[in-house]
Amino acid sequence: MNGFRLKENMLIGSASAATQVDGGEIFHSWQDWYEKGKITDGTSPARANDHYNRWREDYAIMKELGLQICRFGVEWARIEPEEETFDEAALAHYREQLETLRTLGIKPLLTLHHFTNPMWFENKGGFEKEENIPAFMNFAQKTVEALGDLVEEYITINEPNVYALNGYFFGEWPPGEKSFSKMVKVMSVMTTCHILCYEMIHRVRREHGFDNTMVGFANHMRVFTPRNASNPVHVALARLSEKIFQKSITIACCTGKCPWPIKKIGTYKKGKYSDFVSVNYYTRSCISGLNSAFFDHVPKNDLGWEIYPEGIVQCAREMYKIMPGPVYITENGTCDNTDSFRCRYLYDHLKALCESELPVARYYHWCFTDNFEWLEGESARFGIVHIDYATQKRTIKKSGRFLAQVIKDSTVTEECYDIYVKNEKYNVL
């Protein structure tokens, strides 16, 4: 029997990040990375989806599909183009977006930092230096003071582990460093930033008379499986990778305790620093060495990532054990350039969540429109709405229609399964 029911009170929508959709020539770390020739398909974040000008059209499509929630981010470099110079027009612009979402009945969740830094911050050492924490906090506080009356739910920082690993250990993202100790330093500084931000957002909202605030960080989690479960080296390396990449930083950002390798920077106390279990989930890693790889002969997406639906529950459960609370899947989605298996992907991941014991309250699909996928630029499509980048024409995909149907019915019926999912197959590679 195919099909399932959504959890009671579970809301569904989509997630995005400013740099990936907004467009515009902004002096930030990813524009700089593009200018250094690092984007594999040569595309620039200055084009993206031109969402900064077309957001009304995008919100109208969200409404048409019945999306109930929308996670989106502000661009720090737009709000604070030079240190301590704030662009009031940019803040007013984001206010208008938030007001419109609320009028449409779509509940916003606001991300303050999603991978991108203004160049003035990058040039002074970014999150590698604890002396820079006040600069980040200044931006965060100014933004929350300007927009906070319109938003109840926040992500302080998106995926500090991915940011630190790609930018400071693999050297593939800005600023291109390859050093274990720098990676750990960045994770530690970001932990402090998250905790200070958590406290600041609650404080600012309380001062304005709001007590219904929910704050977390978007936690990239994956399953770490030894390539050969009876090889003790593989088993040990899988545990070690999991600890370094996600377990310690999850504990630190949720509780203020700092297990190795995270170092405590500053004077925060042990406590509760996450109001929801916030998981970004995409795939699982197969571990036999220090690099993460994928298993062979398993379902894969168009970037070669394994499609492993039960992992979404395993990861959310892991984080729930550390800090129980309502589960917000703050990102989940896949690169499917021709939209030929995304309905099945959605079905399998939502089904796993809805049939689990977890109190799943939000599911933000990554993402709404195809967008600028960091190193891969425009070449990797994750959206439920297709973008023709040259004309900026938006076209709802089959997967968008499927998600709309799931929201409308709060369930996937056998009939709906037959229409959207039955004939879709994953590539096994």
In the list 140, 157, 162, 237, the residue contacting ligand BGC (rule: CB under 6 A) is 162
> Which region among 155-163, 233-241, 357-365, 393-401 touches ligand BGC (by CB under 6 A)?
155-163
Of the pair 162, 195, the CB lying nearest ligand BGC is at: 162
Does position 220 bind ligand BGC by CB under 6 A? yes
Name the minimum Å distance from CB 249 to ligand BGC. 14
Closest distance to ligand BGC from the beta carbon of 364 (Å): 11
Helix pair angle (248-255, 180-207), 10° resolution: 20
Q: How far is the CB of 417 from ligand BGC (least distance, A)?
A: 26
* Dist CA 332 CA 322 (whole Å): 21
* Integer Cα distance of 250 and 220 in angstroms: 9
Q: How many residues bind ligand BGC (CB under 6 A)?
A: 11
Query: Which CB atom, from 204 or from 348, has the smaller least distance to ligand BGC?
Result: 348
First vs last C-alpha separation in the chain: 28
Cβ proximity to ligand BGC: between 31 and 158 the closer is 158
Which residues are 4's β-sheet partners? 412
**Smaller CB separation from ligand BGC, 162 or 319:** 162
Smaller CB distance to ligand BGC: residue 117 or 405?
117
Contact present, 323 and 217 (Cβ < 8 Å)? no
Binding span for ligand BGC by CB under 6 A among 130-138, 154-162, 180-188, 317-325: 154-162
Q: In the complex, what is the shortest distance from the CB of residue 220 to ligand BGC, in angstroms, rounded to a whole number?
A: 5
Q: Is 209 helix (H, G, I), strand (E, B) or coil?
A: coil
363, with CB counted inside 10 A (0-12, 13-18, 19+), is buried
CB-wise, 136 or 382, nearer to ligand BGC?
A: 382
Task: Name the minimum Å distance from CB 269 to ligand BGC.
Answer: 29
**Stretch of 92-100, 157-165, 222-230, 252-260 lying at the interface with ligand BGC (CB under 6 A):** 157-165
Site for ligand BGC in 59-118 (CB under 6 A): none
Q: Give me the phi and psi of 283, to 5 degrees please.
A: -160, -175
Choosing from 22, 159, 242, 318, the residue that interacts with ligand BGC (CB under 6 A) is 159
Q: Which amino acid is at 14?
A: S
Residue 403 Cβ vs ligand BGC, minimum distance, rounded to whole Å: 17
Site string for ligand BGC, 352-391 (x = CB under 6 A): --------------x------x--------x---------
Binders of ligand BGC among residues 284 to 343 (CB under 6 A) are 331
Q: Around 50, how many Cα atoms within 13 Å sit in the side-chain half-sphere?
A: 12
Long-range contacts: 234-243, Cβ < 8 Å, 24+? 234/287, 234/288, 237/287, 237/288, 237/289, 237/290, 238/287, 241/285, 241/287, 241/290, 241/292
| Main-chain phi, psi angles of 73, to 5 degrees | -120, 155
Please check whether residue 180 is in contact with residue 121, taking contact to mean a CB–CB distance below 8 angstroms.
Answer: no
Q: Segment 258-287, which members bind ligand BGC (CB under 6 A)?
A: 280
Rounded least distance, CB 318 to ligand BGC, Å: 17
Is the CB of 256 or the CB of 400 nearer to ligand BGC? 400
Binding to ligand BGC in span 3-42, by CB under 6 A: 17, 20
> Residue 365 to residues 329, 342, 352, 419: CA-CA distances in angstroms?
8, 11, 15, 20
Q: Measured from the CB of residue 15, what is the shortest distance to ligand BGC in angstroms?
A: 8
> Structure tokens of 60?
């109208």
The distance of closest approach from Cβ of residue 373 to ligand BGC in the complex, given in angstroms and rounded to an integer, is 5
* HEC readout, 26-82: CCEHHHHHHHCCCCCCCCCCCCCCCHHHHHHHHHHHHHHHCCCEEEEECCHHHHCCE
List of residues contacting ligand BGC (CB under 6 A):
17, 20, 158-159, 162, 220, 280, 331, 366, 373, 382
